[in-house]
Amino acid sequence: MTELTKTLELKLVEPNAHKRGKLQETRKAYQKALQDAFNARCTTQTEANDVVVNYDLSGYAKNALKKYVPQLITTYNASELYDDHPVRFTNEGLRLDHKPENAIEWYVKIPHHEDYHLWMPAQPNPEQRGWLEALNAGDATMGESRLFERDGTWYLHVTATRNVEDSSGESAEERTPIGVDIGEASLVTVCHRDEHGSPTAPKLWDNEGKTVRRLRKSYFTATRRLQIRGSERIAESFGDDLWNQIDDVFHRVTREVVEYAESVENPVLVLEDLTYIRESMNYGDFMNRRLHGWEFAKLHAQIRYKAVEKGIPVETVNPRNTSKECHACGEVGHRPRQATFKCTNNACWMGEYQADVNGAINIADRYLSGESHSRKHTGGNDSAEDGGRLTAPQDSQADATQQETLGTYAS
């Protein structure tokens, strides 16, 4: 078991003038309190408390200052402050919420004054989606967070921690690829080949596919009706409830997918690369397209983080034609019915096959054919999940924070 700690990067999406003003107020009060406590050479939490207690800040920011100032003075032996300190909040100061029906899906609650906070839409680093899903599900713990501004844009960096099992040291060739197909009829389908190369143990979550379609549909009919009646608030809480139900289904299915992988020797879960999926989708309806994108991204992120928790690697492959090719001969066939794939190659023994299972085997086979896209490894056990790409600047205190984290949690 290894404890992983990660700094999650969120960009606050275009706060309006009112919210921008509130963020600036918080920063100003925080920096003044920090400066005062620093000038007073506070070396204990009690001394720092006596100074910062008078400021118009949330308890989360004050508590962060009480911890931070004595460390700044005793650990780093600093004689002067950098001018550009992020505002720190202790854990639990921040809340995360997910509203997939909105154009910006993620929301963060930022403490402002005592008993007053701001809910703001936030764009996470897309590579870190698995971490957000884990936090949202309570499978990761939130630590300290830091709020800062760069070139007129506000960012939040959140420290998150979770436990993962160490990956076994099998080489890539010795692994058994499990194809994971995400679809409409069957929400998820998995399949792999046995030691003789025959497709085996297909598993379909088609009831869950039905459930999700029903929930999605009742969301649209009901919220439209409620909005026509002007009941926006009821529509919103009704919507939240339905999205939570969908999320519950997703969490159960993704847990079962990882359990399936655990039952296979030296597994690797193979997913379709989402960037290709977005390009190849041609649903007419914008909302429909966006929702499918959301469902793909959410299911993938949940599978990823749960697999990493169990030490199971995850790879992605190019999804081109995975639903159209015959897994036995590679010929492009057709689907006479949604659930049926028919091979049109007369020389092929296969004939008809369950379409989602055919897709899952094709996805698994692309791993073996060397078409998998191993993500950029950043080192550590987290490599299966996170690339090195950054969407937001790092705050200037990142190094100090890492040391501080060690200092705080090691004792």
- The residues binding Zn ion (CB under 5 A) are 326, 328-329, 331, 343, 345, 348, 350
In one-letter notation, the amino acid at residue 312 is I
| CB of residue 330 to Zn ion, shortest distance in Å | 7
Rounded distance between C-alpha atoms, residue 250 and residue 140, angstroms: 17
Q: Exposed, middle or buried by CB within 10 Å (0-12, 13-18, 19+), for 36?
A: middle
Between residues 82 and 349, which has the closer beta carbon with respect to Zn ion? 349
Between residues 13 and 329, which has the closer beta carbon with respect to Zn ion? 329
Q: Exposed, middle or buried by CB within 10 Å (0-12, 13-18, 19+), for 292?
A: middle
Helix 45-52, helix 17-39: angle, nearest 10: 130
| CB of residue 248 to Zn ion, shortest distance in Å | 39
Is 37 in contact with 52 (CB distance < 8 Å)?
yes
Take residue 210 and report the two structure tokens written for it: 């039905």
C-beta atoms surrounding 332 within 10 Å: 11
Between residues 202 and 387, which has the closer beta carbon with respect to Zn ion? 202
Give the H or E element holding residue 362: helix 355-368
Alpha-helix runs per DSSP H in 40-128 = 45-52, 59-74
| CB of residue 370 to Zn ion, shortest distance in Å | 22
DSSP class of residue 31 equals H
| CB of residue 352 to Zn ion, shortest distance in Å | 10
Rounded distance between C-alpha atoms, residue 411 and residue 406, angstroms: 8
- Name the residue with tokens 């499918």: 292
Between residues 345 and 391, which has the closer beta carbon with respect to Zn ion? 345
In one-letter notation, the amino acid at residue 131 is W
Between residues 56 and 331, which has the closer beta carbon with respect to Zn ion? 331
Between residues 185 and 350, which has the closer beta carbon with respect to Zn ion? 350
Between residues 340 and 396, which has the closer beta carbon with respect to Zn ion? 340
Between residues 222 and 350, which has the closer beta carbon with respect to Zn ion? 350
Torsion of CA 345, 349, 351, 354, to 10 degrees: -120
| CB of residue 353 to Zn ion, shortest distance in Å | 9
Rounded distance between C-alpha atoms, residue 204 and residue 238, angstroms: 29
Between residues 340 and 345, which has the closer beta carbon with respect to Zn ion? 345
In one-letter notation, the amino acid at residue 105 is E
3-state secondary structure of 90: coil
3-state secondary structure of 335: strand
